[in-house]
Amino acid sequence: MASEWKTERLVALCELIADCPHSTPLWTDSGVIVLRNPNIRGGRLDLSTVSFTDEDHYEQRSRRARLKAGDLVLTREAPMGEVCMIPEGLRCCLGQRMVMLRTDPKKCDSRFLLYSIQSNAVQHEIKVNEGTGSTVSNLRIPLLEALPIFHPPLAEQKRIAHILGTLDDKIELNRRMNATLEAIAQALFKSWFVDFDPVRAKASGEAEESICQRLGLTSEVLALFPDRLVESELGEIPTGWEVAPLGNLIELAYGKTLKAEDRQGGEVPVFGSNGIIGWHHKKLVSGPGIIVGRKGNPGIVTWSHADFFPIDTTFYVVCLTHIKSLYFFYYALNLQNLGNLGADSAVPGLNRNHAYMSRQVIPNIKIFKFFDAQIASIFAQKYSNDQQNRTLANLRDTLLPKLLSGELSVAEAGEVVEGNG
């Protein structure tokens, strides 16, 4: 019951609070992972892009505390108040502008604290200076230690964390499934249109049955690939294939300005230069489609499964010729290194005229039919997983404040989760 809950300072619930070393890590190409603020988003650890240091500097940065599974890492600025949990088997150390929290296992469940810190009440306390109500730019350790955490007895904490964790675990499973599906799609594109594996296999004299079995092709698809390579301005390409400027194939059309307050509702995803940044009630472009970062994260290529609204920091792709395979162009653009084709201005940006001059290998038009069919099935599964994740995340965000305030019991929340399973 909520009457049994109490409020305590964060420091009273922790066994250890350790600030990061106030120095820049020595960056290396490999070694031990150094956590950086971009790795911590939305309550989870994202290691899709990682940085490293060597063993000596790992030891130096771990003198105050050596991170272990179950520890929380909280960002102190830029941005402030993001939090994640260290998973099993990860060897890493703190970067800059972050702090480690290790809960006292007799008082506080670490996953419960993870969700508590994400609550609106605690986030508000993080972002305002004590006693003044003014916004702060840096979360100081005394303020962090004094954060009020409203919590039930330990057993109830664990039950609440289990309910919310079940939803997050399913979200994470779907993310991993999508990463696997994406890797399969990328490998297919690379095999057909970059490495030219079917062509090289035919040119080597390998038996048709062997090629089909090894590359997962049918005889019908294999027959569409030629059996030799010829020189071109891009190096060797399959005979009969062409090289064309991107500007002859696609247009990078400008997105449209959309105020931040208009990105709060609706079912149409709003895309910025690095992916979805909100939801709107009207589309600008019929999906599916490709979005390319123009400002902020120039050259980042993202995909929308359905109708979408690209804002003015982006381009979206319009096909100009009989080649209408957006799947092909999605992967081709990802390999074009567009981020280096900057505009001549103080603000980093993608110059589309420079992009238009990039060269692209164009295969036999009949191949697109079979490529699109395979990629479409992969993307359909990814879209289904994304939709389910959005539903699960909305449910988690609805339950979180009610569970953490005692308004909703674990039993009641369990029924809601089961009904949405």
User: Where are the chain's structural domains?
Assistant: 2-151, 154-195+205-223+364-421, 242-362
State pLDDT tens for residues 326-379.
999 999 999 998 877 665 555 678 989 999 999 999 999 999 999 999 999 999
The CATH classification of domain 2-151, taken from the options 3.30.1600.10, 3.30.70.2190, 3.90.220.20, 3.40.50.300:
3.90.220.20
pLDDT band, very low/low/confident/very high, at 268 (cuts 50, 70, 90) = very high
Q: Is 242-362 in the same CATH topology as 2-151?
A: yes
In this prediction, residue 274 carries a pLDDT of: 87
SS3 letters for the chain? Answer: CHHHCEEEEHHHHEEEEEECCCCCCCCECCCEEEECHHHEECCEECCCCCEEECHHHHHHHCCCCCCCCCCEEEEECCCEEEEEECCCCCCEEECCCEEEEEECCCCCCHHHHHHHHHCHHHHHHHHECCCCCCECCCCCHHHHHCCEEEECCHHHHHHHHHHHHHHHHHHHHHHHHHHHHHHHHHHHHHHHHCCCHHHHHHHCCCCHHHHHHHHCCCHHHHCCCCCCEEEECCEEEECCCEEEEHHHHEEEEECCCCCHHHHECCCEEEEECCEEEEEECCCCECCCEEEEECECCCCCEEEECCCEEECCCEEEEEECCCCCCHHHHHHHHHCCCHHHCECCCCCCEECHHHHHCCEEEECCHHHHHHHHHHHHHHHHHHHHHHHHHHHHHHHHHHHHHHHHHCCCCHHHHHHHHHHCC
Q: Global pTM? A: 0.87
Q: Using one digit for the tens of pLDDT, what is the confidence trace for 278-322?
A: 999 999 999 999 999 999 889 999 999 999 999 999 999 999 999
Q: Say whether pLDDT at 131 is over 50.
A: no
Q: Which CATH architecture has domain 242-362?
A: Alpha-Beta Complex (3.90)
pLDDT (tens digit per residue) in 216-257: 999 999 999 999 999 999 999 999 999 999 999 999 999 999
